Amino acid sequence: MKMISILGSTGSIGISTLNVICSLGDAYKVFGLSCHKNITLLQDQIHQFKPEYAIITDQSSYNLFLKEHGTNLGDTKILFGDEGLNTITSNKNVDTIIAAITGFSCIHPVISAINHNKTILIANKEILVSAGNMIISELRNSKAVMLPIDSEHNALLQIILSSGLEYKINDADYYKAKIKNIIITASGGPFIDYNLNDLKRVNANDAIQHPTWNMGKKISVDSSTMMNKGLEIIEAKTLFNLDIDNIKAIIHRQSKIHAFVEFFDGTVISHMSNPDMRIPISYAITYPERIYSNNKGDFSYKNFSFEEVIYDKFPCYRLARKVAEIGKNTGLILNAANEISVEYFLEDKISYLDIPNIIEDILDSSVVVDHDSLDSIIENDKEIRELTRNYIKTRYS
Ligand code: NDP
Ligand code: MG
């Protein structure tokens, strides 16, 4: 039996993961769940999956839960915060961790999972962007395995394995010798046909209406600015380590082709599936086998289209590509400034077009350094968040 802990079980990826686990039968069991504030859904999930532990990371939500239920709900023990997450990532009975907490705060439990030699199925891209080198070096010093869930990167993994190559995370020599280019697709988000004037009037509710995927709010805003694709270029760099000129993105509005790999002999292999996160999640859970059965009808091949990404329209994508080339802590700066800007935009405190301007100004005014420890990465992330908050307060309120 495979025991699974889900970091962020109440989110879009968390819910899809539980859905997949249900359909896989008795060979897969939930060991730990976690939420931040959504204790109502967590309670339902505890009743249904009866995990050993459930973790609440928001202090007042935890206090409220404790007041109503005490420290146990049925046989499930309720724990708090990073220490609680540590319990469900380090326990000797756990095999697999799903990293589906949104944002940089997923760093602590993922490092704990690596240090305890777990298999980590990573949906969270923010930590690969902010701390990619450190995560790769921790992986190299452990027996842990990290597999991507993000649909494009999971597609790349599937293409690579189907082509007879091996999955060797971050191995530049290996992949540069075998692969000419990798290309990930982007739907273009809800504003692909908007002009600058239209974008001035966009609000948070418009930005979270994704045309093809149903996701959490933060990643939906990122998809609309195409920051999501920019973060994914850096994520692909961390996982497969080609030169950045050989990692490309193309707009494919239907979200049915997720990635292409171009080989040196001229062959191009693509991965297709309906836009349904249960497909990459299930592949990662049952890897290297394909066990999941989704009962949808036949795949439709109608009207596939491809377009170049227009950089002027998507300044966040341009910024992320620049960062991917510079490296060092610029991914951390980009990510932290973006997380704060998106948070303020969702709270209606800045406008949509402020997002790239703020990120660019923060990138221009921050010190570029290399980090050699987790502590310095965490400290730097805090600094950039504070800098971005202060900048928004003085400049935009
Ligand atoms: P959601 O916003 O739907 O869910 C986020 C989850 O993280 C929830 O369980 C939430 O708890 C929890 N959470 C939020 N903030 C914190 C915090 N500070 N500390 C601990 N837990 C927290 O996000 P998604 O599921 O859409 O995305 C999750 C991750 O997966 C992101 O990094 C995203 O980029 C990535 N991803 C998502 C895809 C998708 O299709 N959704 C596709 C590819 C990647 P609560 O519900 O209580 O707030
Ligand atoms: Mg993706």
How high is the pLDDT of residue 211? Answer: 86
Predicted confidence pLDDT, tens digits, the chain (397 residues): 999 999 999 999 999 999 999 999 999 999 999 999 999 999 999 999 999 999 999 999 999 999 999 999 999 999 999 999 999 999 999 999 999 999 999 999 999 999 999 999 999 999 999 999 999 999 999 999 999 999 999 999 999 999 999 999 999 999 999 999 999 999 999 999 999 899 999 999 999 998 888 899 999 999 999 999 999 999 999 999 999 999 999 999 999 999 999 999 999 999 999 999 999 999 999 999 999 998 778 899 999 999 999 998 999 999 999 999 999 999 999 999 999 999 999 999 999 999 999 999 999 999 999 998 999 999 999 999 999 999 999 999 8
Task: Name the residue type at position 319.
Answer: L
Domain 2-148 listed as CATH 3.40.50.720:
yes
- Compute, in angstroms, the gap from residue 56 CA to the centroid of ligand 1: 14
Q: Compute the distance between CA of residue 240 and CA of residue 172 in angstroms, rounded to an integer.
A: 7
The pairing of strands 257-263 and 268-272 is antiparallel
Residues in CB range of 230: below 8 A, 6 or more apart: 316, 317, 318, 319, 320, 321, 323, 324, 334
Task: Name the residue type at position 15.
Answer: I
Sketch the domain layout of the chain as residue ranges. Answer: 2-148, 174-276+310-396
CA dihedral 165, 171, 176, 177 (to 10 degrees): -60
Residue 277 CA: which ligand 1 atom is closest? 40
* HSE-up (13 A, CA, CB side) for residue 331: 30
Neighbour count for residue 90 (Cβ, 10 Å): 17
Whether residue 158 contacts residue 218, with contact meaning beta carbons closer than 8 Å, is answered with no
Q: How far is it between the farthest Cα atoms of the chain?
A: 64
Q: Compute the distance between CA of residue 182 and CA of residue 242 in angstroms, rounded to an integer.
A: 8
For residue 200, the surrounding DSSP H or E stretch is helix 196-200
How high is the pLDDT of residue 397? Answer: 80
How high is the pLDDT of residue 141? Answer: 97
Residue 15 CA: which ligand 1 atom is closest? 25
Residue 231 CA: which ligand 1 atom is closest? 34
Give the start-end residues of each E strand in 187-221. none
Residue 228 CA: which ligand 1 atom is closest? 34
- Compute, in angstroms, the gap from residue 330 CA to the centroid of ligand 1: 23
- Compute, in angstroms, the gap from residue 239 CA to the centroid of ligand 1: 21
- Compute, in angstroms, the gap from residue 100 CA to the centroid of ligand 1: 5
Q: Compute the distance between CA of residue 223 and CA of residue 90 in angstroms, rounded to an integer.
A: 33
DSSP string, 45-65: HHHHH--SEEEE-SHHHHHHH
Q: Counting ligands in written order, which one lies closest to the CA of residue 232?
A: 2
CATH class of 174-276+310-396: mainly alpha
Q: Which residue has the tokens 């504030």?
A: 37
Residues in CB range of 274: below 8 A, 6 or more apart: 256, 296, 299
Q: Compute the distance between CA of residue 232 and CA of residue 226 in angstroms, rounded to an integer.
A: 10
- Compute, in angstroms, the gap from residue 29 CA to the centroid of ligand 2: 26
Going by alpha carbons, the residue nearest to atom 16 of ligand 1 is 36
At 355 the three-state DSSP class reads helix
What lines the ligand 1 site, CB under 6 Å? 8-14, 35-38, 57, 100-102, 105, 123-126, 150, 213, 215-219, 277
Q: Compute the distance between CA of residue 298 and CA of residue 288 in angstroms, rounded to an integer.
A: 24
Residues in CB range of 90: below 8 A, 6 or more apart: 112, 113, 115, 116
Q: Counting ligands in written order, which one lies closest to the CA of residue 255?
A: 2
pTM comes to 0.98
- Compute, in angstroms, the gap from residue 152 CA to the centroid of ligand 2: 5
Residue 9 CA: which ligand 1 atom is closest? 9
Q: Compute the distance between CA of residue 134 and CA of residue 128 in angstroms, rounded to an integer.
A: 9
Residue 301 has what DSSP assignment?
-
Going by alpha carbons, the residue nearest to atom 33 of ligand 1 is 124
Q: Is the dihedral of CA 155, 157, 161, 164 positive or negative?
A: positive
User: Which residue from 17, 208, 218, 219 has its CB within 8 A of the most atoms of ligand 1, so it is best to mutate?
Assistant: 219
User: Which residue from 5, 10, 13, 41 has its CB within 8 A of the most atoms of ligand 1, so it is best to mutate?
Assistant: 13
Q: Counting ligands in written order, which one lies closest to the CA of residue 82?
A: 1
How high is the pLDDT of residue 213? Answer: 86
Q: List the structure tokens of 120.
A: 């980590």
- Compute, in angstroms, the gap from residue 350 CA to the centroid of ligand 2: 26
What residues does 147 pair with on adjacent strands?
121
